[in-house]
A and B are shown apart, each in its own frame.
Chain A
Amino acid sequence: MGFIKRSLLSIVRNKVKSFILLAVIIVLGSLIAGAVSIQQATSNVEKNIKERLGAAATLELDYEKLDSLSEEEWMEIELQDIDLETIKQVGELSYVKYYDYNMSNYFGSKSIKSFQGDDVEYEVEYEGPSMDFMLKGINYAPVLDFEEKKGKLVDGRVFSQEELDNGTYVAIISKKLAELNNLHVGDTLTLVNEVYTFDNKTGKEKLVNSRDIVLEIIGLFESQKVKEDADGNSNRGMFDWMDIDYQNTIYVPNEIVRSETQYQMEEYMKADQEFAEMWEEEGSSFEHYTPMYVLNNPEDSEAFEEEVLPLLPEFYKVVSASDHYDSIAGPVESMANLSKYVLIAAVIGTVLIIGLVVLLFLRDRKRELGIYLSLGEKRSKVVSQVVIEVLVVALIGITLSLFSGNFIAAQVSDSMIQADNSSMDDDVIYYSELQPDLTTDDVIDSYEVNLSSSYILGFYGIGMLTILISTVIPLIYIVRLNPKKILM
């Protein structure tokens, strides 16, 4: 009857007490495990979504700030463009993995048709000049959209630095556009740069001048962001529309967009003297660049923002892809908050209640401990016997509560997310240069309650430690007494 055998025997013989202790541990443990599971799941979501949102950032006018200006202030200010210097300066910061800055412009074509969706049965006829194709100017040869998985090169090649530097007339077009027009890598396609003036009196447009843009196709890309699932998602229409836009995008060296835009401006100014003078006076430039930075790490976005802001002209701000997290992660965030409070309450409650239960458990057994002492048992063994007893029960309790807590967390999360989500009027869809297609549904999809090994270890560790401490302290108080005080 060594102390280990005694403790195991005691658990079995004191069935009711062991069961009460077990029940208390399971109930409180489930609460904690549940709260921790939810916490863990929400932090997973945050990481997951932020990763999917990517590490992209751009510089934009801060419209909110502009809107808040009074009329007088509005007249005072002079909005500056972000110049190329600043764009490049920001691009050299250590946070930036790579970056690009683009001009874009829309052009039509007489020889090729634009892509209008996979299942369009009728063709839409437009009056007047068509502007179906967007030329997107590239300064970063590997094409940032491909690196960031918005699109994927499926045939041919990307640009060479030489082509970018010289403004060679080469292009990468979408595979769908190519198939529609029976174009292949090596073929040429012709767009037309037409300059019109608009007569206010007659309401008619007048062609001033035009020239062809002849591009050699060097590569084909496919859109990557189109969702493969064909479930009746209510947002599909939106995505389709966005996708069609992308299918009609043509990547070219930026110099081409610049020179074609310059041609437009010059021809237009020839036809409209008034405009030319005004333009001249204001010293405006037609070179508007949208920069796009990809950071090494999405978590750097705040530090990046802090460093970039002083470099920007007034009324500009940094927009990071991960900024949108808050706007789409509402239901998950509210779960995280709730579970935080549950966790704090549960931990405090557990320490108190377990402490009390163990104390009662021991008070009842004080005499028994005195008997062992009177028989000459070592204090350390008397303590060990009870500790083993409590810890064995605790181990079973914690193990069970780990699973029940996880199960409860999954149930609670499900019903809460459903309730929370359906109470929102609309799914938040954020469409910008940065992120075309992440919705609240995506956030909820990536919310998953599961057990990671570090969490399990932590849970056992904290649980056992709590119980160990609340057992050992009163135990030591008891075995310090001499046996006469306990027994006689």
Chain B
Amino acid sequence: MILEAKELNYYYQDGDMRRYILKDTSIAFEKGKFYTILGQSGSGKTTLLSLLGALDTPHSGTVLFKGEDIKKIGYEKYRRNHVGIIFQSYNLIPTFTAVENVLIPMSITENEVPEDKKTVAYNLLDYIGISKEKADRPVNKLSGGEQQRVAIARALATNVELILADEPTGNLDEEMEQEIIDIFKKLAHEHEKCVIVVTHANEVAVQSDQSFLLRKGVLTSNE
């Protein structure tokens, strides 16, 4: 298991009441597989993903990365060395170019990165479908689909094995959506990554190797 969540609890305090978003949620993921977690809007998908990516911390329960508690690894360190996160709203630095956005995590991570970072960044973007000409544009001058590709390239730049994505195709049209999904499949199957995508779209879920359903804070297998 590359990633495991054990009995995660997450709630919002509502007066005297605790409104649980996640209740004793447990889940496990392997390398080389493309996972989806399906749920309606407001079901807690983003919450779960942010706990898996250490963007937030649970009220109780643990997340284990290769068997080690990420709290022990250190949330910051876990984020910079072990996980790549893709957001629905891309979250790129708007004034920087595509290639600069890809270069940023390479200078933050402690993972080994090749000497000629810039060439690697261009190659990575090219592989994801961003030409050299577009790579040198400020990202706010790229289309949504192109921006999400840049975000994927950024997530891959530190050479991590774990990719988390929060509704990565939510803002894209169907054609774009399919291209992005194809990239995820390729990453899982050809590059041995563990790709976890949360989505409300069934057509995304059906293309994954394994799918879970999140309802009222409870996860079930989605067969």
Contact = CB atoms under 8 A, between A and B. Distances in A.
A161 to B, nearest CB: 84
Contacts of A367: 91
Interface residues of A, number: 25
A374 B79 contact: yes
B29 interface: no
Interface string A5-27: 01001100110000000000000
Interface string B60-90: 0000000000000000111111000101000
Interface stretch (B97-105, B168-176, B188-196, B212-220): B97-105
Nearest to A488: B46
A483 B56 CA distance: 7
A487 interface: yes
B108 interface: yes
A1 interface: yes
A484 interface: yes
Interface in B97-136: 100, 103-109
Residue in B53, B76, B78 with the greatest tally of chain A CB atoms within 10 Å: B76
Contacts of B57: 482
A9 B104 CA distance: 12
A13 B79 contact: no
A456 to B, nearest CB: 34
A13 B77 contact: no
B95 A14 contact: yes
Interface in A436-488: 482-485, 487-488
B178 interface: no
Contacts of A370: 91
B63 to A, nearest CB: 14
Contacts of B95: 10, 13-14
Interface in A155-200: none
B210 interface: no
Interface string A419-446: 0000000000000000000000000000
B81 A482 contact: no
Given A1-B100, A2-B107, A488-B46, A375 B55 contact: no
B80 A376 contact: yes
B166 A375 contact: no
Interface in B12-38: none
B43 interface: no
Contacts of B11: none
B55 A487 contact: yes
Contact of B56 (A1, A9, A10, A484): A484
A6 B105 CA distance: 12
B81 A374 contact: no
7 contacts: A2-B107, A373-B79, A375-B105, A376-B79, A377-B76, A378-B76, A487-B87
Interface of A: 1-2, 6, 9-10, 13-14, 367-368, 370-379, 482-485, 487-488
Interface of B: 46, 50, 53, 55-57, 76-81, 85, 87, 91-96, 100, 103-109, 138, 154, 166
Query: What 10 pairs between A and B have smallest CB-CB spacing?
Result: A376-B80, A376-B79, A13-B95, A484-B56, A484-B50, A484-B55, A483-B55, A1-B103, A1-B107, A1-B104
